[in-house]
């Protein structure tokens, strides 16, 4: 086995909590917000962050001064791991060097995305079926950089092949393995199988590997994440869609956590949304469509409230951030003020 060369993953305090890479969701703005909202409530927040997945050839064309949009970042996101996908080892070698020059803390190779648009090119989860190419990509990254290399993957393509596949990956000397406990063909159906995650930890231990194993799949809170660490022995947990149901999820391991999301008054939840809209506008200035952000408005509202559902429907019809903010202000003014709003609220008045 090739020994891991670097220590980011070994140095992070356990358990590692991280926000999953999610295309069109976890851009530089959202990554910063999630971490800063956690800090605002006295919680450490995700200890490491990931970019959205990025084609390796875009990395080659990027420079620190002019990065591809998905590679934009700020120092507040450190340590930030860049996630890349592709099939060409030469590009991985060149891209890895370029990404190191851009200041990322690690490189993650996507070997898990189940979408046909990427699988049909032989990339992402298709690599589970072509292990020799997967190994070449890891080796090419190693030649291009001394940064830690991780792989994010699933348990198999059609059926779980954790024993074969995860053992193979760990044998390549990767520094961390992020395992989503589903096979690619399941997409997001059913439930992630945490037993496969535990099996991967056992394999890692039996190999004497020092790679960190990060479990992923269906974790909806930090308490739930702790349960995953207890049941499987993983070094850390990656949380994706859970953040849609609780944007303050990473603020909850604080001595003074925020009230449950659904208990926050509309004004306060809207305050967080307005903060998101304003930061998005400031960062992207129209270079990333406002429609992308609109898809995630619903995370800030309560699905069982007819009043909020009606408000959301009206918001979807609006084309500009200014119009959205104006309607949100009106809606908050019409709402009775809640006197029990905690002091660290992100209120619409403090953001406007």
Ligand X SMILES: Cc1cc2nc3c(=O)[nH]c(=O)nc-3n(C[C@H](O)[C@H](O)[C@H](O)COP(=O)(O)O)c2cc1C
Residues forming the site for ligand X (CB under 6 A): 20-23, 25, 52-53, 83, 110, 112-113, 152, 180, 216-219, 239-242
Q: Compare residues 62 and 347 and give the one whose CB is closer to ligand X.
A: 62
Q: Which residues pair with 107 in a beta bridge?
A: 82, 149
Contacts of 218 (CB under 8 A, 6+ apart): 181, 191, 192
Cβ(222)–Cβ(249) below 8 Å: yes
* Residue whose structure tokens are 């090739």: 2
* Nearest distance, CB of residue 150 and ligand X, angstroms: 11
* Nearest distance, CB of residue 151 and ligand X, angstroms: 10
User: Running DSSP on this structure, what letter comes out for residue 156?
Assistant: E
* Nearest distance, CB of residue 347 and ligand X, angstroms: 28
User: Running DSSP on this structure, what letter comes out for residue 329?
Assistant: H
Cβ(42)–Cβ(256) below 8 Å: yes
Tokens of 51: 């970019």
Strand, helix or coil at 238?
A: strand
**152: annotated binding-site residue?**
yes
Q: Compare residues 188 and 316 and give the one whose CB is closer to ligand X.
A: 188
* Nearest distance, CB of residue 99 and ligand X, angstroms: 16
Cβ(128)–Cβ(184) below 8 Å: yes
Q: Compare residues 42 and 79 and give the one whose CB is closer to ligand X.
A: 79
Q: Which residues pair with 16 in a beta bridge?
A: 236
Q: Compare residues 184 and 251 and give the one whose CB is closer to ligand X.
A: 184
Residue 252's CB is within 10 A of a number of other CB atoms, namely 17
Catalytic residue positions, numbered: 113
**339: annotated binding-site residue?**
no
* Nearest distance, CB of residue 330 and ligand X, angstroms: 30
* Nearest distance, CB of residue 252 and ligand X, angstroms: 15
**83: annotated binding-site residue?**
yes
User: Running DSSP on this structure, what letter comes out for residue 48?
Assistant: B
Q: Compare residues 210 and 241 and give the one whose CB is closer to ligand X.
A: 241
Q: Compare residues 109 and 324 and give the one whose CB is closer to ligand X.
A: 109
Cβ(167)–Cβ(152) below 8 Å: no
Question: Distance of CA 237 to CAs 1, 73, 139, 197, 279, Å?
Answer: 25, 22, 26, 11, 27
Contacts of 78 (CB under 8 A, 6+ apart): 105
Strand, helix or coil at 310?
A: helix
Question: Distance of CA 277 to CAs 29, 40, 227, 347, 348, Å?
Answer: 9, 18, 34, 13, 11
* Residue whose structure tokens are 């619409």: 348
- Provide the Cα torsion 24, 128, 47, 145; round to 10°: -100
Residue ranges at the known binding site: 83, 152, 180, 240-241
Residue ranges at the known binding site for FMN: 83, 152, 180, 240-241
């Amino acid at each position: 086995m090739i020994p891991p060369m670097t220590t980011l993953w070994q140095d992070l305090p356990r358990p590692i909590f991280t926000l999953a890479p999610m295309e069109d969701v976890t851009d530089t703005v959202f990554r910063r917000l999630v971490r800063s909202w956690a800090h605002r409530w006295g919680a450490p927040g995700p200890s490491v962050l990931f970019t959205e997945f990025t084609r390796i050839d875009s990395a080659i064309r990027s420079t620190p001064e002019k990065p591809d949009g998905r590679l934009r970042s700020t120092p507040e996101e450190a340590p930030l791991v860049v996630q890349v996908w592709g099939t060409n080892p030469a590009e991985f070698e060149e891209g890895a060097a370029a990404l190191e020059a851009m200041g990322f803390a690690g490189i993650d190779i996507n070997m898990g995305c189940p979408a046909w648009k990427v699988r049909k090119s032989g990339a992402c989860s298709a690599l589970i079926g072509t292990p020799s190419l997967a190994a070449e990509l890891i080796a090419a990254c190693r030649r291009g950089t001394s940064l830690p290399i991780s792989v994010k993957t699933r348990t198999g393509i059609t059926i779980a092949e954790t024993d074969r596949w995860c053992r193979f990956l760990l044998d390549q000397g990767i520094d961390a393995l992020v395992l989503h406990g589903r096979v690619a063909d399941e997409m997001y159906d059913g439930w992630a199988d945490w037993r496969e995650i535990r099996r991967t930890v056992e394999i890692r231990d039996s190999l004497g590997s020092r790679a960190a194993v990060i479990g992923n799949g269906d974790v909806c809170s930090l308490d739930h994440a702790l349960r995953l660490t207890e049941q499987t022995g993983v070094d850390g947990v990656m949380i994706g869609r859970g953040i849609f149901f609780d944007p303050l999820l990473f603020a909850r391991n604080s001595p003074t956590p925020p009230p449950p999301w659904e208990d926050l008054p509309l004004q306060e939840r809207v305050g967080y949304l307005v903060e998101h809209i304003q930061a998005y506008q400031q960062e992207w200035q129209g270079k990333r469509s406002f429609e992308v952000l609109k898809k995630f408005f619903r995370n800030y509202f309560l699905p069982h409230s007819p009043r909020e559902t009606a408000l959301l429907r009206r918001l979807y019809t609006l084309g500009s951030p200014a119009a959205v903010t104006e309607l949100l202000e009106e809606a908050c003014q019409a709402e009775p003020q809640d006197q029990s709003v905690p002091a660290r609220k992100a209120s619409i008045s403090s953001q406007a």
